Amino acid sequence: MSDATTKPAVPDRLLILSVFVVASCGLAYELIAGALSSYLLGDSVLQFSSIIGCYLFAMGVGSHLSKYVDDRDVLARFIDIELLVGLIGGLSATVLFLLFAWMSAPFRTVLYALVFALGVLVGMEIPLVMRVLHNKQARFSELVSRVLTFDYLGALAVSLLFPLVLAPKLGLSRTGFLFGMVNAAVALWTLRHYAADIPNVRARLTRGILVMTFLAGGLVMSEQLTRWAERGLYGDEVIFATTTPYQRLVLTRWKDDTRLHINGNLQFSSRDEHRYHEALVHPALQSMPWARSVLVLGGGDGLAVREILRHANVEHVTLVDLDPAMTGLFTRNSELARLNGGSLRNPRVTVLNADAGQWLDEHADVFDLIVADFPDPSNFGLGKLYSVPIYRLMARHLSDNGALVVQSTSPWFAPRSFWCIDATLREAGFHTHPYHAYVPSFGEWGFNLATRRPGYTPPTAYSIPTRFLDGETTRLMFRFPPDMKPLPVEANHLNNQRLVHYFEQDWGNVVR
C-alpha cells in the first residue's frame, strides 16, 4: 500500500482538522439560537428542545442532500457551503435580535427558518469532507474514526467555551460574527490549498474576502447594533447592558426614570419601585419588632435590603444572589448605589453570590425573616425556586416565630401562577397570608406572607416613614375582590413544574 493511502498529505490532514473547527461553529450557532430565544421568549427548556430538534432534523436533511453533489464539485461545494454557513450563522444573532426589537410578529418563523437552513448546510459539511478525503484514497475505516473524533471534540470544546467564556465575555452577537469568520477562514484555507481542484478560484476568493470583511465589520459594530436593537425593544435610552453567564442585564433611562430589565423583562422602575419594595418588606417586619436577622434570596439590586435596614431592630442582613455582576453593578455604580441607599455596602449586610437552593441546602443559619425576591418563574430554572422542596428548605432556616415573604407575580394578569405559589407554600407546611399592591409599572402585583404558626395580623400603622403604605392601604392589600379570588390549582413540585406552565398560559393570554 502506498504512503498516500496510509499517510494523507499535509493539506488532507489539515482538512480533517478543519472538521474540529466546523463542528465547533455548527454547535455555536445552535447554542446562540437557543440562548437568544430563551432570553427573549422565556422557557429555556422548550426553546432549547425545539431548536435542537429542528437543527438535528435539518442536519439529517443536509446529509441526505449531500449525495446529490457531483464528485467533481465536492471541494467547490464545500467552500460555498462554508461561506454560506459563515454568513448566515454570523448574522443570525444580530438579525434575530433586531427582528424581535422592531418587528416581533415573525420572530419565531425567522428563528426556525434560520435554524433549519443552518442545520441543512452544517449537515452537508462532514459528508463532503469525508468524500474529499476518500477520493484521495484514504482508508475508509481510519477516515471515519478521525473525522468523527474531531467532530465530537469540536462540539465538546464549544459547549464548554460558550457558557464560560464566549457568551459572558463577547455576547451573543459578537460570538456569532466570530464563528462566522472562522467558517469563512476554513473556506479560504481550503481554497488556497486545493486551488488546482476547484473551478472559478478567483470568483470564490473574491466572495470569501467579501464575506470575511463583512463579518469583521459586523464584529466591530455588533455592540452598536445590539444597543440599537435594545433601544427599539425597550423604547428608552440604553445606558448599560451586559451579558453574564446567567442573564442579560439592561438599564434604560427616560428623563428621571431608570429601569432594570433582565432577559427582556422589567424588574423595576425607579419612579415606583418604592411601592413594590415597601409592600414586600414592611407588612412582615412591622409585625416583628423582635426580628434581628433577615435573609434575602435574590434581590441583587439591594432595594429590598434598603427597606429592611430602615428597621433599627434588624442587626444583620444576608443577601444571597446568584449573579456577581448584578450585585457588583448595584454596589459600584454611584447612581444605582444612591437608588438603593448604599445598602450593599452597609456593615450590617453580607452579600453572597451563590445559587439560593444550594446555599439553603448547605448552610444551617436561622433567620427571623426570609424575603424571596426572585424573578418571575418564566422557566424551569427559576420555577424550582418556587417549589415545595425549596420552601421546605426555607422553613428549616426560619425561627419558630419567623416569617417568609415571597414575591408572587400578578394575581390579576397571572392568577393561576399567583394562587399556585400560595398552594405550594401551604403544601410545604406554611400558614399563608396572600396580599397584593398596585405598582404602576407592573399593574396589580402579588405577594405571599407565610408563617410557621397561625395568627399573623397585618399592621395598622408603621413606625417608620413610608411613601406608599399606611394602615388603611395595608388593610385593603390583604383583601381580594371577587375578580381576583382564589383559583383551584396544583402545588408546584420539581417533577412537574406546574407553576411554569401556569405562568406561560397566564401571560400568554395577556395582550401586551
Pairwise CA distance, residues 37 & 45, whole Å: 11
How is residue 159 written as a grid cell?
459547549
Pairwise CA distance, residues 70 & 77, whole Å: 9
Q: Is 210 left (phi over 0), alpha (psi -120 to 50) or beta?
A: alpha
Pairwise CA distance, residues 233 & 71, whole Å: 48
Q: Which of 249, 242, 253 is nearest to 264 (CA)?
A: 249
Pairwise CA distance, residues 87 & 325, whole Å: 32
Q: Which of 143, 136, 129 is nearest to 66 (CA)?
A: 129
How is residue 407 written as a grid cell?
414575591
Cα of 128 vs its chain's centroid, Å? 35
Q: Is 161 left (phi over 0), alpha (psi -120 to 50) or beta?
A: alpha
Count CA within 13 A, CB hemisphere, residue 344.
Answer: 27
How many helices (DSSP H) and strands (DSSP E) are in the chain?
18, 11
**Strand 293-298 and strand 265-269: pairing?**
unpaired
- CB contact burial 381-416 (16+ within 10 A = b; e otherwise): bbbbbbbbbbbebbbebbbeebbbbbbbbbbbbbbb
| Residue 321 annotated to the active site | no
From the list 43, 236, 373, 376, the catalytic residue is 373
Cα of 374 vs its chain's centroid, Å? 14
How is residue 229 written as a grid cell?
436593537
Pairwise CA distance, residues 247 & 326, whole Å: 9
Pairwise CA distance, residues 146 & 164, whole Å: 27
Per DSSP, 69 falls in state S
DSSP code per residue over 413-445: TSHHHHHHHHHHHHHTT-EEEEEEEEETTTEEE
| Amino acid letter, 203 | A
- The answer to whether residues 387 and 492 touch, using CB atoms and an 8 Å cutoff, is yes
Q: State the CB neighbour count (10 A cutoff) for residue 452.
A: 15
Catalytic residues: 373
